[in-house]
């Protein structure tokens, strides 16, 4: 059935496109504008790639726009060794994976509890309490936090994960609560009639229905924890467990910057984000849009 359906459908789409092209007029103003706008992404990316492939001599000459010739691939190897890349990468990946999973699990649970108990004053109050956390700038509380986490033995990547999950709850719960409210209570009631417990209702009905919001929260959590600098820099005591953004400071002295190694290293750190984006592009975009509307 699948095989018979799909080709026919795509054929119809193709004919439609061809016919629309006949009377198609290009909006040159808009196209130009979009081309210029795309340069804001492409140009920095071009510089990053070009810089990563230059020798120090090539960086000093010309306008910087020139494509390096010959290409100097050794920058990547040198940056790999200098940052002890595999180790820093693993540490960053550890922080990121568990921050994302933790954010999804904790924030959705909190949101479900609050949204479905809205008539209780305690839950309404706790919503305001969580929201108010968004008004406290992070740098204000960082030193007490460091002291506290050190006492609890959390001055390591696990502590960074913990704080990422905790710090994300207020904003993520805000997103989730709005979404949970739009899910009809009748769905849950029917599950209750079938004998489902609260946990089962959440795990089997609500959480799957939260999928679009999970995508949004997951993306925020991923980008936030992968690129985070301040928290790991201050929190992780053992330099061997430090994350990539902090380790990459190596290329930036007070008075000199090793541009070619820095950009090679930035590209390597960026790679997972790019790969995930290319693989999950479709879901990312649809997830972001759904999140935006709700």
Interface positions with other proteins (CB under 8 A): 1-2, 5-6, 56-57, 60, 82, 90-91, 93-94, 97-98, 101, 104, 143, 146-147, 149-150, 155-157, 187, 190-191, 193-195, 204-205, 207-208, 211-212, 214-215, 218, 233-242, 246, 249-258, 279-280, 282-283, 286-287
| Shortest distance (Å) from residue 149 CB to other proteins | 8
Give the pair of three-digit tokens for residue 289: 């849009």
- Nearest-approach distance from CB 249 to other proteins, in angstroms: 6
CB of residue 123 to other proteins, shortest distance in Å: 24
Cβ closest to other proteins, residue 71 vs residue 146: 146
Q: Which helix (H) or strand (E) holds 291?
A: helix 259-293
Whether the link from the prior residue into 70 is cis, omega within 30° of 0, is yes
CB of 290 to other proteins, least distance (A): 8
* Residue corresponding to tokens 């696990």: 158
Select 132 or 190, whichever has its Cβ closest to other proteins: 190
How many Å apart are CA 89 and CA 80, to the nearest integer? 10
Per the CB < 8 A criterion, the answer to whether 221 and 99 are in contact is: yes
User: Least Å distance between CB 142 and other proteins?
Assistant: 8
In whole angstroms, give the CA distance from residue 71 to residue 50: 9
Q: How far is the CB of 114 from other proteins (least distance, A)?
A: 20
Q: Counting Cβ atoms within 10 Å, is residue 136 exposed (0-12), middle (13-18) or buried (19+)? A: exposed
Closest to other proteins by CB, 23 or 253? 253
* Short-list 208, 209, 213, CA closest to 290: 213
Residue 113 or 215: the one with the smaller Cβ distance to other proteins is: 215
Which residue lies nearer to other proteins by CB, 80 or 283?
Answer: 283
* C-beta closer to other proteins: residue 82 or 131: 82
3-state secondary structure of 257: strand
Residue found under tokens 């054929």: 11
- Which segments of 194-258 does DSSP mark as H helices, in order? 198-200, 207-209, 211-226, 230-235, 244-247
């Amino acid at each position: 059935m699948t095989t018979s359906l799909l080709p026919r459908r795509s054929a119809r789409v193709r004919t439609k496109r061809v016919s629309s092209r006949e009377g198609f007029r290009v909006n040159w103003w808009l196209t130009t504008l979009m081309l210029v706008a795309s340069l804001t992404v492409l140009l920095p990316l071009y510089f990053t790639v070009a810089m990563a492939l230059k020798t120090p001599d090539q960086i000093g000459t010309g306008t910087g726009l020139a494509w390096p010739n010959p290409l100097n691939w050794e920058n990547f190897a040198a940056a790999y060794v200098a940052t002890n890349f595999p180790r820093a990468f693993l540490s960053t990946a550890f922080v990121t994976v568990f921050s994302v999973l933790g954010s999804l699990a904790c924030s959705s649970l909190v949101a479900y509890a609050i949204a479905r108990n809205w008539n209780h004053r305690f839950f309404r109050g706790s919503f305001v309490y969580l929201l108010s956390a968004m008004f406290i700038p992070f740098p204000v509380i960082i030193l007490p936090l460091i002291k506290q986490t050190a006492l609890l033995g959390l001055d390591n990547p696990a502590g960074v994960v913990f704080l990422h999950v905790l710090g994300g709850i207020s904003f993520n719960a805000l997103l989730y609560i709005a979404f949970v409210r739009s899910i009809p209570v009748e769905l849950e009631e029917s599950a209750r009639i079938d004998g489902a417990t609260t946990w089962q209702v959440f795990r089997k009905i609500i959480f799957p229905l939260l999928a679009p919001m999970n995508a949004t929260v997951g993306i925020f959590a991923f980008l936030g924890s992968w690129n985070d600098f301040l928290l790991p820099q201050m929190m992780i005591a053992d330099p061997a467990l430090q994350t990539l953004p902090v380790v990459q400071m190596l290329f930036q002295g007070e008075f000199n910057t090793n541009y070619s190694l820095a950009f090679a290293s930035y590209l390597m750190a960026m790679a997972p984000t790019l790969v995930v984006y290319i693989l999950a592009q479709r879901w990312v975009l649809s997830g972001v849009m759904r999140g935006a509307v709700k």
